Amino acid sequence: MRYMTAGESHGPQLAAIVDGVPAGLHISEDSINADLARRQSGYGRGGRQLIEQDRVRITSGVRFGRTIGSPITLVVENRDWQNWTDRMAVFGDAPVDLQRETTPRPGHADLVGVLKINSDDCRDVLERASARETAARVAATGIARELLADLGVDVFSYVTSIGQAKMPEQDPMMDAPDYKPLEIELSDVRCPNEATADAMRAEIDKAREAGESLGGTFRIVARGLVPGLGGYATAGERMTSRVAAALFSIPAIKGVEFGLGFKAAELPGSQVHDEIILDSNLGFTRAGNNAGGLEGGMTTGMPLIATCAMKPIPTLMTPLKTVDLDTLEAADASKERSDVCAVPACAVVAEGEVAFALANAYLEKFGHDNMADIRANIAAYKERLKTVSR
């Protein structure tokens, strides 16, 4: 499968086309809309979320609630477009009183983008480089989530830190799969620890008062995976590189760890590598999950666990210094309406990216024409694994 998104932050709509989806997969707009709502929620979000109420509209590739093997088109309308029809018109002349964005924000694509495309208006860049684009991503990757759910795989996330507020965990790699997604979603910072959630809100409140923004970390967990997805022979096959690339495609992500991640570099091998055991019911399994469900570029059958670091949002209400593109003089960076913190929302986007990478690995290994054949191939694979471990 592959997807492409289109649309600007204040244009009429965002759109996505997902190609390579097998036929016979049940699709629910309600499920995708639930994820779109999660992407918009969270303590520390800004005024734009009060305007937009994202809903997906599927216009191709699905008939009577099931995929038919053709490209799927998904559309999410921008309600704020009605306030931008002159400034973001597709055709016609620019308004005489058009205010160009000439003070690029440090940390955003503004400056490098206008240098790249030879523009004198940062809006030509920021409209597409905006995090608003991730609404289309969530819609597109919702197709992959439906496919994985059909195959018994679920992907969820939880926030582990915001600013200096960090969630304590005794053994994250073993604890993470046991967290309850419903309990996570009941928290407006998507943190399963109530005391830490309170501290996170306090951090966000302090940042808001100071005109600052905050980043943080979150963990993605995928449960129910079969062993052997991915490959060990070439770089492009490895799930480590594929999942990491998917996560780093989110502009705000500055770091990704699998399993113990950087901590593994501090410990001897005996405290890092997961011992192999043979379970009478499960077959080959592991005594721990320090590898985060990936070994040699392939899934081990243990939960896949990735931890991501999100940088603070570049738009600051107390702006940093920049250079005005017109005058070439020092100036304050522009202040686009923005969030104080979007870590909980970013984690939802990351769930979708991980789901898309995993769904593709399933299709490569078990076929991609229709869901009936895929299910049968997975069942046969699981039976073969049982005979090996007997």
CA–chain centroid gap for 16, Å, is: 15
Enumerate residues 6+ apart whose C-beta is below 8 A from 56.
29, 32, 33, 36, 74, 75, 76, 139, 142
| The pLDDT value given to residue 268 | 97
Backbone φ, ψ for residue 143 (5° rounding): -65, -45
Q: Domains in the chain, ordered, with CATH?
A: 2-388 (3.60.150.10)
| The pLDDT value given to residue 48 | 54
| The pLDDT value given to residue 133 | 96
Q: How far apart (Å, rounded) are the C-alpha atoms in residues 12 and 364?
A: 36
* Confidence grade of residue 276 (pLDDT, cut at 50, 70, 90): very high
Stretch 271-299: mean pLDDT, rounded?
Answer: 94
DSSP string, 53-83: ---EEEEESEETTEE-SS-EEEEEE-GGGGG
* Confidence grade of residue 329 (pLDDT, cut at 50, 70, 90): very high
Whether the pLDDT of residue 390 is over 80: the answer is: no
Q: Shortest CA distance to 62 belongs to which of 96, 32, 36?
A: 32
Report pLDDT digits (tens) over 140-170: 999 999 999 999 999 999 999 999 999 999 9
Whether the pLDDT of residue 49 is over 60: the answer is: no
User: Cβ(353)–Cβ(137) under 8 Å?
Assistant: yes
Report pLDDT digits (tens) over 108-119: 999 999 999 999
Percent of the chain past pLDDT 70, that is, above it, reads: 97
Q: Shortest CA distance to 3 belongs to which of 13, 12, 16?
A: 16
Which pTM value belongs to this model?
0.95
Whether the pLDDT of residue 44 is over 90: the answer is: no
Beta-sheet pairing, 276-279 with 283-286: antiparallel
User: Cβ(174)–Cβ(289) under 8 Å?
Assistant: yes
